[in-house]
Amino acid sequence: MSTTVPKLTHLDQQGRARMVDVSAKPVTRRTATASGRIRVLPSTIRAIARDETPKGDVLAVARIAGVMAAKKTHELIPLCHPLMLDSIEVDFDFPDIDQVSESENASPVDLSIKAIVSLSGKTGVEMEALTAVTVAALTLYDMCKAIDHQMLIHGIHLVEKTK
């Protein structure tokens, strides 16, 4: 069992924050997949699925917000490199609406969010994928808060990355 502490690449020899120098790294195909969930009331999931929310098509807006967020990750996370992303996909996975209880006391359900980001470059895109999922979830929250005061964003994590 190794007790070696990994070197933190965002710190210089004096322990100060710095952007990592990737100039010597080769360009490779890199992909990252992130996912997360937003727990909503059954009535909210039905309203989203049927495009019956007061603010309109929340999935379209959340998808665009996720894509825009991935593109601007370097503006939000201080030491991230600005990247020329090749592809950003943001998708949603619903529970089976026909199986969701219509009872007032029914348990909340999860709407899953997934982002896949890719590029050919010298650094990974996991922060961009995580940011896309997070901002898509926040957008869903914002657009549904008038009809659901119990929403919970949870489980945001990196599923996989390749380099």
Nearest to 51 by CA among 90, 109, 92, 89: 92
Cα–Cα distance measured from residue 118 to residue 129, given in angstroms and rounded to the nearest whole number: 9
Which residues form the catalytic set? 142
Helix residue ranges, H only, 9-154: 42-49, 58-71, 73-76, 126-144
Cα–Cα distance measured from residue 29 to residue 131, given in angstroms and rounded to the nearest whole number: 20
